[in-house]
Chains A and B, each alone.
Chain A
């Protein structure tokens, strides 16, 4: 994920200091990999160095100084450019799951490959159930549902691919050994 662009996006709504940015990030992208405070400040430092954000004043509320940041004109332009760029749709088939299933089918003995596939399917379906539970709970926010939908769609695709691959391998095997 592009943390600099996400921070630029969060600043597009108005000036924020580091703590507010971190909080807004966690609210709007609730299931993302956790973003550390250190990473927020380091990213802000780089954005400021590149002229994409600027310090817009200091706040002191009985604690340490807090610098508020605002988007610059160049920051707005960089954000617009990023939003206008189409993401290459899966330019490579790069996934550890993909690699492991193929390697298991190629090199592992039958029992090991079988145990791995059963365990992986269980892990996928357990996670799918857990995420569906979050989504169907009465307290789920729209941000939660949107993030969880993304994960559910990808797990569902993995499971479909897994089943299709096993069917294909079975067909291939029947053909070769018939």
Chain B
């Protein structure tokens, strides 16, 4: 069943159009890759779907309710309870340990301190980084930081995880390990994932790929100017 929808979403930064009428459905538990070359609008689309940005035109619906008209406070509450967000550089809080970082979304949602720490440790364990539970981000490798960030994004068992180039800063093997674990756990708890990437091999982790080009959905997936450049004759 569809739970998140974009309907004709348009967004511009000043005079520069970023999205030119995007329509996209994400079903419960579905993993959707949004791909395309740099500047095609994929990150902007993720921000609109997650309620971080408001579209200039069009609608974003969560379980049938328009969220693009909600107040910032209401959208922020939705992100805390139903959504998880993960960026290329984990964006851990530098002053907090790994366990405190992972527990943070639970504490913000009102979970007790002890319960939040227990859950955080479980999630660090699932991502194979239990040993850095009491270490601050500055003392961790990039791979460890991103594993912690991924654990933090999933700790509330969100209904949708928005992941923007989540392994872009990692070497191939570390990136694949993070992604494999992310996909396994998302499937286990039926969390839908919107995975933004410019790499075909990363998009292949999804059930389905939506290719963007110049702010629109490119149904051919080829990223071609239409018509096909006319051959070489």
Contact = CB atoms under 8 A, between A and B. Distances in A.
Interface of A: 105-111, 113-114, 117-118, 121-122, 124-125, 128-129, 131-132, 135-136, 138, 152-153, 155-156, 159-160, 162-163, 166-167, 169-170, 172-173, 177
Given A114-B227, A125-B204, A169-B229, A136 B180 contact: yes
A170 B224 contact: yes
Contacts of B229: 166, 169-170, 172-173
Contacts of B199: 156
Contacts of B200: 124-125, 128, 155-156, 159-160
Interface string B206-233: 1101000000000011111101111111
Interface in B79-121: none
Contact of B232 (A105, A136, A152, A155): A105
Contacts of A153: 201
Nearest to B223: A163
A157 to B, nearest CB: 10
B221 A109 contact: no
* Chain B binding surface, main DSSP class: loop
A128 B201 contact: yes
Interface of B: 180, 183-184, 199-201, 203-207, 209, 220-225, 227-233
B204 A117 contact: no
Contacts of B225: 170
Chain A CB within 10 A, most for which of B183, B205, B220, B232: B232
Given A117-B228, A163-B223, 15 more contacts: A105-B231, A110-B231, A114-B224, A114-B228, A121-B222, A125-B200, A125-B204, A128-B200, A128-B204, A129-B206, A136-B183, A153-B201, A155-B201, A156-B199, A166-B223
A158 to B, nearest CB: 9
B231 A109 contact: yes
A124 B204 CA distance: 10
Contacts of B183: 136
Contacts of B201: 128, 132, 152-153, 155-156
A170 to B, nearest CB: 4
Nearest to B227: A110
A134 to B, nearest CB: 11
A14 B228 CA distance: 57
